């Protein structure tokens, strides 16, 4: 196990990243953007936490193979069908958190329930530590929309 | 991207929080308690890790709309019905981890399997960084009971 | 809430751990290995992030009761059957990320989608902070294979 010197030059760095999604269910590969933030941070070791700021957006780590992403969409539709009945969408009885442009999205919330809302990833040797096939995705569950994620990097400077 | 000064005044702060749940499946909004700990920590930037200390309690981030919470309960019941057969609950063959007040809770463990056991959230400008509709929930899957969660805050002091 | 002194002696420590899985779906209890790394790190408080380096390996926290682990395997098979059709496995049309020893594993990716790819756990009093029944598992979804996980520890030295 490698040990870094005391946190003499350690730091927190953070930013908000905007992502435009294109589909109702969309997997947007944000790996390169996260990697660029790690590179630009000057951190040699630590953690980067990629956090959704929405209740119908998840952050997952999986493989970026286009057919697999259609399998994921099929899987999510099977677990929480878009056309099923959700009490959240019954605007005749609901009284809480209503907006002028309320969306019919109970299915999207249920899908979000079983997907991670953030990914906490290791930084090693100044780079995002990922396996060969691992990519970081923003998962849009109720799009298309403009979305935001919060990224926090914390650790030890230098390599 | 904002950068903080070196961790001259950085710190870890932690505590254990107790929560009394009221229902077999219960969503307890703990956002204000986590926010109060962030406020009281004096940290300006960093991470807060909200960790379940139970195998049938999850920590999720989603919207606090009462009808949606009933949708979540319906969804969880569909994925792992309480009345289905679980070998974990077959006390005629099981020999491991048995207690005097053993609960019939295979369904609760299966539900916990697909829900996060912790939420790692960003601290920015001295506050929990959350989107407009995001709330932090302790999800009781085998209640009602007295539960505990461990909360760790780590980061840079000051704003 | 306890507060540690400034990060005068704080550090990041990290390593890669190898795990040999034995079954197509396998739950390998890695708690003692993670605990040993925490003990050896000299950290008194902080975080340990246990991260999968594979897209068909998850990291979960749950109870280590052998019959329950068979319930989990049954549950995963029900949510994403191994024998169902996945476009990821249709090598007559797929063109991306193909390898010489391509595996038929669409089901494993779908299962990984709803399981956490990492566990971020608290370190308190120099030990992994876990509840009575909580154990950390590497979950093999497409084995048996040799697997790797990345472990990052960050925090304040000493107790």
pLDDT in tens, B105-125: 999 999 999 999 999 999 999
Please state the rounded mean pLDDT for residues B61-86.
97
A and C: number of Cβ contacts within 8 A? 130
Reported as a single tens digit per residue, the pLDDT across B39-66 is 999 999 999 999 999 999 999 999 999 9
Judge residue B84's burial from the number of C-beta atoms within 10 Å of its C-beta, 0-12 exposed, 13-18 middle, 19 or more buried: middle
Q: Please name the member of A68, A75, A116 whose beta carbon is closest to the beta carbon of C80.
A: A75
Q: What is the distance in angstroms between the Cα of B132 and the nearest Cα belonging to chain C?
A: 24
Chain B contacts of C134, Cβ < 8 Å?
A: 52-55, 117
Per the CB < 8 A criterion, the answer to whether C54 and A134 are in contact is yes
B46 → closest Cβ in A96, A116, A154: A154
Of B5, B153, C48, B152, give the one whose Cα is nearest residue A8: B5
Average pLDDT of chain B, as a whole number: 92
- pLDDT over threshold 50, residue B6: no
pLDDT in tens, C26-66: 999 999 999 999 999 999 999 999 999 999 999 999 999 99
Give pLDDT tens digits for C88-127: 999 999 999 999 888 999 999 999 999 999 999 999 999 9
For the ranges A19-23, A87-91, B67-71, B117-121, the lowest mean pLDDT is seen at A87-91
d(CA C85, CA C93): 13
ipTM: 0.92
Cross-chain residue pair C54–A129, CB shorter than 8 Å: no
CB pairs under 8 A between A and B: 130
Report the pLDDT value the prediction gives residue B159, as an integer from 0 to 100.
56
Q: Look at residues B136, B57, B63 and name the one whose alpha carbon lies nearest to residue A106.
A: B63
CA-derived radius of gyration, chain C: 18
Token representation of residue C42: 């000299």
Q: What is the pLDDT of residue A16?
A: 97
The pTM (predicted TM-score) of the whole model is: 0.94
Contact (CB<8Å) C110/A79? no
The chain-wide mean pLDDT, for chain A, equals 92
Count H helices and E strands in chain A, helices first: 3, 9
SS3 of residue B102 by DSSP: coil
Joined tokens for residue C122 = 């608290």
Omega into B151 within 30° of 0, i.e. cis?
no
| Probe site for chain B from A4, A8, A12, A115 (most B CB atoms < 10 A) | A12
Question: How many other C-beta atoms lie within 10 A of the C-beta of residue B125?
Answer: 10
Whether residue A3 and residue C10 make contact (CB cut-off 8 A), yes or no, is: no
Distance CA C7, CA A6 (A): 8
* Contact across the interface for B87 and C64, Cβ inside 8 Å: no
Q: Considering only the beta carbons, identify the residue of C2, C63, C156 that sits closest to B109.
A: C63
Helix, strand, coil: what percent of chain C each, to 5? Answer: 25, 35, 40
Tens digit of each residue's pLDDT (9 = 90 or more) over A68-115: 999 999 999 999 999 999 999 999 999 899 998 889 999 999 999 999
CB contact under 8 A, C52 and A133: no
Q: List, in sequence order, every beta strand (DSSP E) within A1-159.
A: 2-3, 11-20, 26-29, 43-52, 57-62, 118-124, 127-128, 135-140, 146-157
Q: With an 8 Å Cβ cutoff, are A110 and B75 in contact?
A: yes
Predicted confidence (pLDDT) at residue A1 exceeds the cutoff of 80: no
Query: Which pairing describes strands A146-157 and A11-20: parallel, antiparallel, or unpaired?
Result: antiparallel
Closest to A88 (Cα-Cα) out of A119, A115, A55? A55
Q: Is the pLDDT of residue C75 over 70?
A: yes
Which of B63, B79, B124 has its CB closest to that of A97? B63
Confidence (pLDDT) at C24: 98
Q: Tokens 């204000």 — which residue? A: B32
Residue B8 banded pLDDT, cuts 50, 70, 90: very low
Residue located via tokens 């989608």? C113
Q: What is the pLDDT of residue B30?
A: 98
pLDDT over 50 (residue A54): yes
Extended strands (E) in chain B: 2-3, 11-20, 26-29, 43-52, 57-62, 118-124, 127-128, 135-140, 146-157
User: CA nearest A104 in B: which residue?
Assistant: B68
- Backbone φ and ψ for C68, nearest 5 degrees, come out as -65, -35
- As a whole-number percent, the residues of chain A with pLDDT over 70 amount to 93
- Shortest CA gap B133–chain C (Å): 22
Interface of chain B toward chain A, CB-CB under 8 angstroms: 1-7, 10, 45-47, 60-68, 70-72, 75, 79, 114-116, 119-124, 129-131, 133-134, 154-156
Higher-pLDDT residue of C9, B110: B110
How many beta carbons lie within 10 A of that of residue C40, not counting itself? 12
- Nearest-Cα distance to chain A for C34, in Å, is 12
List beta partners, residue A53: none
Binary contact (C72, B154; C-beta < 8 A): no
The pLDDT score that the predictor gives to residue C158 is 77
DSSP state of C60: E
- State the DSSP H helix or E strand holding residue A89, giving kind and residue range, or none if neither: none
| Per-residue model confidence (pLDDT) at position C140 | 98
Q: For residue range C88-99, list pLDDT tens digits in order.
A: 999 999 999 999
Place of tokens 């903080």: B4
């Amino acid at each position: 196990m490698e040990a870094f010197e005391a946190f003499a030059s350690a730091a927190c760095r953070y930013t908000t990243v905007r992502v435009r999604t294109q589909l109702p269910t969309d997997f947007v590969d944000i790996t390169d953007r996260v990697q660029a933030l790690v590179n630009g941070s000057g951190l040699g070791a630590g953690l980067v936490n990629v956090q959704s700021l929405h209740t119908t957006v998840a952050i997952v780590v999986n493989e970026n193979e286009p057919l697999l992403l259609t399998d994921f969409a099929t899987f999510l539709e099977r677990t929480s069908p878009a056309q099923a009945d959700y009490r959240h969408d019954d605007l005749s009885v609901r009284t809480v958190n209503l907006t002028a442009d309320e969306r019919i999205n109970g299915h999207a919330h249920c899908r979000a329930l079983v997907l991670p809302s953030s990914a906490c990833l290791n930084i090693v040797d100044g780079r995002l530590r990922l396996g060969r096939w691992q990519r970081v995705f923003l998962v849009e569950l109720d799009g298309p929309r403009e979305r935001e994620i919060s990224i926090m990097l914390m650790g030890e400077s230098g390599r």
